[in-house]
Amino acid sequence: MRYPNGKKYLKSEEESEVKKDHRTLLSAANRGMSLEEDINLSNDYYRDNGIALINKRPTPINIVKVDYSHGARITDAYFEKQSTTDYNGVYKGRYIDFEAKNTKSSTSFPLSNISEHQIVHLKNVIKHGGIAFFIISFQTKDEIYLLDASFVIEFYEHGDRKSIPYEVFKKEGILIRQDYTPRLHYFEAIDALYFK
C-alpha cells in the first residue's frame, strides 16, 4: 500500500498505534456523521489520487418561482424524488452506479425506502453492462456492506418479506473496510467483486 505522495506505507507498531487512535476518534465522531458525508469524502480521495471518478447526483428540485430582482433567487421550489440513484461515475472505463442507505435495524435492511424507479434504473444499468450495487450501513453494528444490485432487485421483485436479511449481506456482500483516508475503502470491495 502506498500513500498519495508515493511513500511506501510502513506498518510499524508506532504507526499502527496512531492509526488506531485515529480510528477510535473517528468512530466516536462518526456517530454524528452521515454515510453520505463518508462516501463524498472517500470519492474526493479516490478522485484526487487518480483511482476513480465518482460523483453524487444533485438532488432534483422542481422550481416554481424565481425572483430576478437581485440576481436569480429561487423563492418557491420543492424536492423531487430521485428517479435514479445518488452516485455514478467511471472506474477503469466501466460505468459505476450505486445507491447508499442506512438502517438502524440489526437483522435486516428494509426495502421501503427504495423506489420502484430506482429498481428500474438499476436493472437498466446492469442490462447495459454497467456495475450496479448498494452500499448499506448497519448503524447499530458499525458495519457497512457493498451488495450487488441484482440481490436487491431479486428481493424487491420476488422476496416474501419487504426486507433483505442481514445474513444475505454477510454471505453475498463485501464488508467495506472503514479507515481514516479514505473513510470507506469501497473500491477494495469493487475490485474483489467485479475486477478479479
Report the interface residues with a second copy, using CB under 8 A: 47, 50, 52-53, 55, 57-61, 63, 71-79, 84, 88-97, 121, 124-125, 127-130
CA dist 195 and 185 (Å) reads: 15
Within a 10 A sphere around the Cβ of 176, how many other Cβ atoms?
23
Instruction: Return the closest-CA partner of residue 42 out of 100, 83, 94.
Output: 100
Minimum distance of a second copy from residue 108's CB (angstroms): 28
Minimum distance of a second copy from residue 162's CB (angstroms): 25
Minimum distance of a second copy from residue 97's CB (angstroms): 7
**Residue 175 contacts residue 143 (beta carbons within 8 Å):** yes
Nearer to a second copy (CB atom), residue 10 or residue 66: 66
Minimum distance of a second copy from residue 126's CB (angstroms): 10
CA dist 158 and 155 (Å) reads: 5
Q: Is the torsion defined by CA of 194, 100, 146, 111 positive or negative?
A: negative
Q: Which three cell numbers mark 161?
A: 418479506
Strands 163-165 and 108-110: antiparallel
Which residue type occupies 131? I
Nearer to a second copy (CB atom), residue 28 or residue 71: 71
What ranges in 65-177 are assigned the alpha helix state H? 116-127, 149-158, 166-172
Minimum distance of a second copy from residue 84's CB (angstroms): 6
